[in-house]
Amino acid sequence: MVVSLLLNSCITTNNITNNFMENDINSIHPAFKIYHKNESKSLINYQLNTSELLYTRVNKNSPFQSKVKIQFSVFDNSNKTAIDTGTIYIIDKVNNEKQNYISGTFDFDFSINKKGYIKLELRDENRGRTVKEFIYIDKINHYNDQFFLVKDSTNNILYNSFISDENQVLIYSYFNQNKTLYANHNNFKFPLSQPPFSKSKENTFRYKTNKIESLTKNNDLSFNYDFPESGLVQFQLDSNEKNGFTLFRFQKYFPKIKTPIEMIHPIRYICTKAEFEKVLNSSDSKKAIDEFWLTKGNTSDISRELIKKYYARVEKANIYFTSHKEGWKTDRGMISIIFGAPKLVRKTNNSIVWTYGDENNMNSITFTFEKVKNPFSDNDYELIRNYNLKNPWYRAVDTWRNGKAYWIH
């Protein structure tokens, strides 16, 4: 199958995420969302950030345009031969102003009651840059998120598991449209991670119900839900079970950090308990957080640069590592904020290993994260803590406290 799509740029408000690009070595971060259309077909919805694409033109009289090629191969677990393949060309011409995102959809063959995966290779033809992804396909368990398509009140598809400003969501499901869908609200405040050498063991999540309600069904058989101000909501076909798909709502601008209050809690990794309580309990949050960073940078210019780098890492952690709690609170979020991006990432089905420094170098630092079975998220990994990580941790923290962003080349 070969499909060519000629697009005028369209704008959406969704944030781009990429579950596999943990060290961010590529600058293309497509968002993909699988939706099972019927018994034999499934859809891939995609969204591309136009700022990550190269726009060129043939001559000064022709419009600037980007050209992206997506190649895909689909496999089920019972067959090593691809059951469907295809190539899609996406051409975005800019006539006046370039929009923020381009989005679209294409379908592929995949039968009901099967599991497998789709291999996607996206290439910016103008720049010659490629990114590859593998997405797991589950067309057996009707409660998983691939059987549902969630849109906001302006009809934009939600590619992330977290929402920000949307008060209302619409949920579509070809297979579950005649069933009852329940919303299980959990407003438990999950704690941030402990240092990598800590001996304390805490549950990575807590299953707690604040409220369960059945969703209102619209005339088009979509489900309607007014999202609460905060917390996580697990959408279930059976309210007596602990399975379903989950959406999260944190602060208003999540995953970004935009207010002084939002800036306070992430500094807990690099400050003493007394420092943190002083900033947290201040009547003037902006003044308190400014003073904290000024004591670390000593000058306004250095402090501004520290703030820029630190919260850029916080926001990136929110994008990549959010699970049942904000990404910056997770083990991977904590390590990525303090140490930066790892030089090497190795990933298996059940673990992720980050290496800082050259591989097999005795001075390198390695962090191993194991996948956690979590009813709310498939993106939960717990750090294997080790007392030998105490010195590297405090060395990194002290670097931040002395006015420099820590980074291992």
CATH of the domain at 113: 2.60.40.10
Q: Is residue 255 part of a domain?
A: no
241 within some domain: yes
Distance CA 65, CA 1 (A): 24
Q: 1, 83 in Cβ contact below 8 A?
A: no
Judgement on whether residues 166 and 274 belong to the same structural domain of the protein: no
Question: Is residue 268 located within the same domain as residue 341?
Answer: yes
Q: Are residues 115 and 70 in the same domain?
A: yes
Q: Nearest Cα to 296, choosing from 406, 151, 375, 148? A: 406
Residue 392 lies in a domain: yes
In this structure, the answer to whether residues 15 and 121 fall within a common structural domain is: yes
pLDDT at 163: 85
Of 140, 172, 187, at which residue does a domain stop?
140
- For residues 291 and 265, what is the distance between their CA atoms, to the nearest angstrom? 15
pLDDT of residue 10: 34
Cβ(232)–Cβ(246) below 8 Å? yes
What pLDDT is recorded for position 113? Answer: 97
Q: What is the pLDDT of residue 144?
A: 94
335-349 core/surface letters (b: 16 or more CB in 10 A; e: else)? bbbbbbbbbeeeeee
Cα–Cα distance between 244 and 235 in angstroms, integer?
5
Name, in order, each residue with C-beta under 8 angstroms of 257's C-beta and a sequence gap of 6 or more. Answer: 263, 266, 311, 314, 315
Pair 240, 265 in one domain: no
State which of 116, 140, 164 marks the end of a domain.
140
Domain that holds residue 366: 260-401
In a domain, 407, yes or no: no
Residues 189 and 62 in one domain: no
Q: Are residues 75 and 121 in the same domain?
A: yes
Q: Please, what is the Cα angle at 202 between 196 and 206, to 5 degrees?
A: 130
Domain-located, residue 408: no
Cα Rg, the chain, nearest whole Å: 23
Same domain as 155, residue 136: no
* Residues 277 and 409: beta-carbon distance below 8 Å: no
271 plus 372 within the same structural domain: yes
Are 158 and 236 within one domain? Answer: yes
With a CB cutoff of 8 Å and minimum separation 6, the contacts of 175 are 36, 142, 147
pLDDT of the residue at 23: 41
- Within 10 angstroms of residue 332's Cβ, the number of other Cβ atoms is 25
Q: Of 249, 273, 298, which marks where a domain is finished?
A: 249
Side chain identity at residue 277, one-letter code: E
Distance of CA 111 to the CA centre of its chain: 28
Distance CA 299, CA 304 (A): 9
409, part of any domain: no
Per residue, the 3-state secondary structure of the chain, as one string, reads: CEEEEEEECECCCCCCCCCCCCCCCCCCCCEEEEEECCCCEEEEEEEEEHHHCCCECCCCCCCEEEEEEEEEEEEECCCCCCCEEEEEEEEEEECCCCCCEEEEEEEEECCCCCEEEEEEEEEECCCCEEEEEEEEEECCCCCCHHHCEEEECCCCECCCCEECCCCEEEEECCCCCCCCCEEEEECCCCCCCCCCCCCCCCCCCCCCCCEEEECEECCCCCEEEECCCCEEEEEECCCCCCCCEEEEECCCCCCCCCCHHHHHHHHHHHCCHHHHHHHHCCCCHHHHHHHHHHHHHCCHHHHHHHHHHHHHHHHHHHHHHCCCCCHHHCHHHHHHHHHCCCCEEEECCCEEEEEECCCCCCCCEEEEEEECCCCCCCCCEEECCCHHHHHHHHHHHHHHHCCCCCCCC
Q: How far apart are CA 254 and CA 9, in angstroms?
A: 25
Q: Are residues 160 and 213 in the same domain?
A: yes
The structural domain count of the chain equals: 3
- Taking the C-alpha atoms of residue 88 and residue 255, their distance in angstroms, rounded to an integer, is 31
Q: CA triplet 123, 127, 128: central angle to 5 degrees?
A: 50
pLDDT attached to residue 204: 58
- Both 9 and 121 in one domain: the answer is yes
10-residue block means of pLDDT along the chain (409 residues)?
42 32 60 96 95 92 94 93 96 87 95 96 94 94 96 88 82 95 89 89 65 89 90 91 90 90 96 95 94 92 94 94 93 96 87 90 91 89 95 96 88
| Within-domain flag for 205 | yes
Q: Ramachandran region of residue 340, left (φ > 0), alpha (ψ -120 to 50) or beta?
A: left
pTM: 0.83
Tell me if 254 is assigned to some domain.
Answer: no
Is the separation of the CB atoms in 369 and 383 below 8 Å?
yes
